[in-house]
Amino acid sequence: MKVREFLQERDWEKFHNSKDLAEGICVEAAELLQLFQWMSPDEVHRFQNDPAKVKQLKEELADVFIYCLSMANAMNIDLASSVMRKLESNRKKYPAELYRGKARL
Amino acid sequence: MKVREFLQERDWEKFHNSKDLAEGICVEAAELLQLFQWMSPDEVHRFQNDPAKVKQLKEELADVFIYCLSMANAMNIDLASSVMRKLESNRKKYPAELYRGKARL
Amino acid sequence: MKVREFLQERDWEKFHNSKDLAEGICVEAAELLQLFQWMSPDEVHRFQNDPAKVKQLKEELADVFIYCLSMANAMNIDLASSVMRKLESNRKKYPAELYRGKARL
Amino acid sequence: MKVREFLQERDWEKFHNSKDLAEGICVEAAELLQLFQWMSPDEVHRFQNDPAKVKQLKEELADVFIYCLSMANAMNIDLASSVMRKLESNRKKYPAELYRGKARL
């Protein structure tokens, strides 16, 4: 995994305890959210069509993602299979035939 | 992508504007962080070796991840290449030979 | 201060290091935000006029507030004067005659 | 209230719907948390005794607080009495004689 390689080259894995990584995910998630603060739905719509803004969004989303991957790396979690398992349990919790167009994730 | 398929089966993509998804990422990130609240480094260490706790952690991390993938889906972002680009820019910002063992992501 | 009294009666001040309190503020802030997730502006408006929802909001807001007061207590910060100083600096940063009706906090 | 006066001078109350204020509280809470990221308990202890750092902390905490007061203002919430009510309910939930020195807020 490229994230692991990046961390190992810098000998940064030793800093990566799960509590501080969880804080990092929170901090980066808030920076992502900040991009949208005070925006009306119309402004959000325009934002989504503005390449400069989408570029910023991509970077902030990548930051959250990299911390998630670092957490998975630190904890030896196979994130892909956790996601599959969670989707499977959501599938049972929200059957498509009952929730189609009605509910929200 | 499995997340897209899950959303489409429920016709939930229409709810997925980027602002609310960013809120979702924040909310799930905080639930992940809450697992560690008040824990000393020793307790974090024990936590990381307790299978029941790690199971909870996997689920909360999967929730953050699913929202990130939903955001990427809603915005047509290729998350893998955003992550690669961000790591590339971090590689320049934090050269391995200067930051080895010294700095933190 | 009533929060200090509450903490001292339980001998809880010893747990209150500033890092964990900052985590607590984050976690409670996200619970407050969760009340609004997926709401359109119309739904937010209805929410604000629904006494049962406002009761929930009051409780979540009080939780954030209590953690802020606990942090101020732990760090011997006079919060009222910090707020006054910050408002004073915002007053200079955003002069009323330039920002009236135009900008956002 | 000084926060209300500040907002009214700028005609900013109209921007203050409760959803965006909740986002603001989250974003500011994460900036506060970021001050502590990667810190060991020893580093947190040193942080708490470093006047320059404490000054930063005061400012970030004031930001969270001002958003809480703005939310209370926008929703006509008497924050002091919400806090008193919440502490009262916490008093019953965590009786001092049972939780002294044992539990955490």
* Interface contact A15-B64, CB threshold 8 A: no
Q: Which of A15, A29, A38 sits opposite D20 (nearest CB)?
A: A38
The rounded percent of chain D whose pLDDT value lies above 70 is 93
How high is the pLDDT of residue D105? 45
Length of chain A, please? Answer: 105
Nearest CA-CA partner of C65 in C49, C79, C50: C79
Nearest chain B residue (CA) to D38: B104
Q: What is the pLDDT of residues B10-25, one digit of tens each?
A: 877 766 789 999 999 9
CB-CB contact of C74 with C16 (8 Å): yes
Chains that touch A (3 or more CB pairs under 8 A): B, C, D
How high is the pLDDT of residue A90? 85
| Min Cα–Cα distance to chain C from D93, Å | 12
Nearest chain B residue (CA) to C28: B30
* Interface contact C23-B33, CB threshold 8 A: yes
- Chain A residues within an 8 Å CB radius of D24: 37
Exposed e or buried b per residue across B49-87, where buried means at least 16 C-beta atoms within 10 angstroms of its C-beta: eeeeebeebbbbbbbbbbbbbbbbbbbebebeebbeebb
Nearest CA-CA partner of C67 in D83, B100, B49: D83
- Chain B residues within an 8 Å CB radius of D38: 104
Give the contacts of B48 (CB within 8 A, at least 6 positions apart). Answer: A17, A18, A75, B54
Nearest CA-CA partner of B63 in B34, B29, B37: B29
Vertex D89 angle, CA C60 and C68, to 5°: 45
**C-alpha span between C59 and C4 (Å, rounded):** 19
CB-CB contact of C60 with C35 (8 Å): yes
Exposed e or buried b per residue across C61-88, where buried means at least 16 C-beta atoms within 10 angstroms of its C-beta: bbbbbbbbbbbbbbbebebeebbeebbe
**C-alpha span between D96 and C9 (Å, rounded):** 6
Q: State the pTM of this model.
A: 0.87
Strands (E), A8-52: none
How high is the pLDDT of residue D50? 94
Helix (H, G, I), strand (E, B) or coil at A50: coil
pLDDT band at B104 (very low <50, low <70, confident <90, very high): low
Q: What is the pLDDT of residues B37-93, one digit of tens each?
A: 999 999 999 999 999 999 999 999 999 999 999 999 889 899 888 888 888 888 888
Chains that touch D (3 or more CB pairs under 8 A): A, B, C
| Min Cα–Cα distance to chain A from D60, Å | 14
How high is the pLDDT of residue D103? 54
**C-alpha span between A95 and A98 (Å, rounded):** 5
| Min Cα–Cα distance to chain B from D1, Å | 30
Which tokens go with D90? 């916490």
Q: Which of A26, A38, A104 sits opposite C104 (nearest CB)?
A: A38
For the cut 70, the answer to whether the pLDDT of residue B105 exceeds it is no
For the cut 80, the answer to whether the pLDDT of residue D76 exceeds it is yes
* Interface contact B94-A10, CB threshold 8 A: yes
Mean pLDDT score of chain D: 87
Distance, C-alpha C51 to centroid of its chain: 21
Q: What is the pLDDT of residues D80-103, one digit of tens each?
A: 888 888 888 888 888 887 777 765
HSE-up (13 A, CA, CB side) for residue B4: 7
How high is the pLDDT of residue A2? 80
pLDDT band at D10 (very low <50, low <70, confident <90, very high): confident
| Min Cα–Cα distance to chain B from C28, Å | 8
Q: What is the pLDDT of residues A19-52, one digit of tens each?
A: 999 999 999 999 999 999 999 999 999 999 999 9
For the cut 60, the answer to whether the pLDDT of residue A103 exceeds it is no
Taking CA atoms, A100 is separated from A86, A103, B2, in Å, by 19, 7, 17
Helix (H, G, I), strand (E, B) or coil at A22: helix
Low-confidence ranges of chain C (pLDDT < 50): 105
* Interface contact B104-D40, CB threshold 8 A: no
How high is the pLDDT of residue A20? 94
- Chain A residues within an 8 Å CB radius of C41: 40-41
| Section D23-46 average pLDDT | 94
- Chain C residues within an 8 Å CB radius of A41: 40-41
| Min Cα–Cα distance to chain D from A81, Å | 28
* Interface contact B105-A12, CB threshold 8 A: yes
